[in-house]
Structure 1
Amino acid sequence: MALVELRGVTKRFRKGDETITPLDQVDLDIVAGEFVSLMGPSGTGKSTLLNLVSGIDRPDSGTITVAGTEVTKLSRSKLADWRAANLGYIFQTHNLIPVLTAYENVELPTLLLKLTASERRQRVELALEAVGLSDRADHYPRQLSGGQEQRVGIARAIVAHPQVVVADEPTGSLDAETSEQVQTLLQRLNKELNITLLMVTHDSDVAAIATRQLVLDHGKFLERDGTSPTRKAEGGKMIKQFG
């Protein structure tokens, strides 16, 4: 069974008198431990896909299952609890809270989980260590470089040990050198910690770091070789978690 499974998913939007269908009866499987990148022209629904997988938005038809839970059937309140425990989100512009330290920003998702104070502390310390920022735990966002801010955002995305992490243009606001550092970090988290990643990017070089590359074309997903992305799942649940 795939970790992320889309079946017959359609999403439509109204734009004036026009109906736009960025996702049209699409199927997609993502296996635990994969790093999948998604490319396509602006406005074709790449970010829409991330919002659907994370339960922020709902499809007009079809089903989305993540780690055995059919996300499309959850109520809004249950979705919030499910998302806190199972989904990590990496934003393009960090979205850190400026009055909180790096440690406190990373800790935020753990406050929604039933963890003891010592368990929360251990997870935050491990997440900061994983992104190489243990020595910046007490720094505020204004005291960090853009790359360090993004690494704090990545630590925040993985601190709850989510089943899957989605990343929306994670290098889009970074300079070339810092972008390469973040790319290397994402690859390491995937390979060494077996974190499942679904990343949207406009940059073909960034897309190439993933283990599988998809293109969204006229409402359908294609592998970079032009084949369908639905395939047999290999393996099952995430084998290991950091910490």
Structure 2
Amino acid sequence: MPLVTVSNVTKEYTSGEETIRPLDGVSLSIEEGDYASLMGASGSGKSTLLNLIAGIDRVTSGEIFVAGTDITKLSRGKLADWRAANIGYVFQTHNLIPVLTAYENVELPLLLLPLSAAERRKRVEIALEAVDLTSRASHYPRQMSGGQEQRVGIARAIVSNPTVIVADEPTGSLDDETTEQILQLLTRVNSELGMTLLMVTHDADAGARAKRQIRLERGRLVENGKVTSTANLRTA
């Protein structure tokens, strides 16, 4: 059984008398341990799909199962609890809290989980070591480079050992050299830690780093140049 199953999902917004449909009957599956990239032009629906899988937004119709849980049926409160336990999010602009150290930023998601202080400390130390930032644990975001900030963001995403890591344009604000470093780190997170990773990107070179690539056009999946309603992403 796939780790993530998206079944005939449509998302609509209403603006005045106009109905906007960023996703139109999308279905796909993602296997545990996969690394998939979602690509497409601005407005193609890729970030919308990412946020639906992450439980940040709600579908208009259709179902999304993650590790056997139909997240479209969860109440707002239960969805927030599910998201804290199952989703690690890597943002484009880091989204670090400036008054917190790197250590404290990474620890933040763990405060929502029933963990002891000792267990939180152990997990944070492991996450910072994984992104090679142990020496920066006491530094504030203003004392770090953009690449270091993004590595803190990745450590924060993996610290709770989530079911799925979602990354929305994680290299969009970085220079070429730092982009390469972050893409290598994301590959390590997948290959060495075995974490399932779903990355949105408009960069074809970045998308090619994933094991599987999928493109969206006008809210629909495109495979081999043809619009289709389904996509099956499986580990090679």
TM tier, smaller: over 0.9
Q: Which residue of 1 aligns with 2:189?
A: 189
Shift, 1:223, TM fit: 3.6
Whichever residue aligns with residue 14 of structure 1, its letter is T
Q: Write out per-residue CA displacement over residues 8-58 of structure 1, whole angstroms, 9 at most, x where no aligned residue.
A: 100012244432212111111000011100111101211111111111111
- Per the alignment, do residues 163 and 25 of structure 1 end up closer, same or farther by CA in structure 2, a change over 3 Å counting? same
2:92·2:168 contact (CA, 8 Å) conserved in 1? Answer: yes
Q: Which residue of 1 aligns with 2:175?
A: 175
* TM-score normalised by length of structure 1: 0.92
Shift, 1:226, TM fit: 4.8
How far, CA to CA, are the matches of 1:102 and 1:225 in structure 2? 43
1:26·1:221 contact (CA, 8 Å) conserved in 2? Answer: yes
Secondary structure, in 3 states, of the residue corresponding to 2:232? coil
Q: Write out per-residue CA displacement over residues 122-154 of structure 1, whole angstroms, 9 at most, x where no aligned residue.
A: 100010011110111011001100000000000
- Per the alignment, do residues 36 and 73 of structure 1 end up closer, same or farther by CA in structure 2, a change over 3 Å counting? same
How far, CA to CA, are the matches of 1:195 and 1:19 in structure 2? 37
The structure with the largest strand share of the pair is: 2
Verify: 1:161 aligned to 2:161, yes or no. Answer: yes
How far, CA to CA, are the matches of 2:180 and 2:123 in structure 1? 26
Q: Which residue of 2 aligns with 1:139?
A: 139
Q: How many residues align?
A: 235
1:31·1:233 contact (CA, 8 Å) conserved in 2? Answer: yes
Verify: 1:231 aligned to 2:232, yes or no. Answer: yes
- Per the alignment, do residues 221 and 232 of structure 1 end up closer, same or farther by CA in structure 2, a change over 3 Å counting? closer
2:91·2:170 contact (CA, 8 Å) conserved in 1? Answer: yes
Considering only aligned residues, what root-mean-square deviation do their CA atoms show, in Å? 1.7
How far, CA to CA, are the matches of 2:15 and 2:233 in structure 1? 37
How far, CA to CA, are the matches of 2:167 and 2:222 in structure 1? 19
Q: Which residue of 2 aligns with 1:220?
A: 220
Shift, 1:88, TM fit: 0.5
Q: Which residue of 2 aligns with 1:19?
A: 19
- Structure 1 unaligned segments of length 5 or more: list them: 236-243
Whichever residue aligns with residue 189 of structure 1, its letter is V
Q: Which residue of 2 aligns with 1:239?
A: none
* TM-score normalised by length of structure 2: 0.95
- Per the alignment, do residues 226 and 189 of structure 1 end up closer, same or farther by CA in structure 2, a change over 3 Å counting? farther
Secondary structure, in 3 states, of the residue corresponding to 1:221? strand
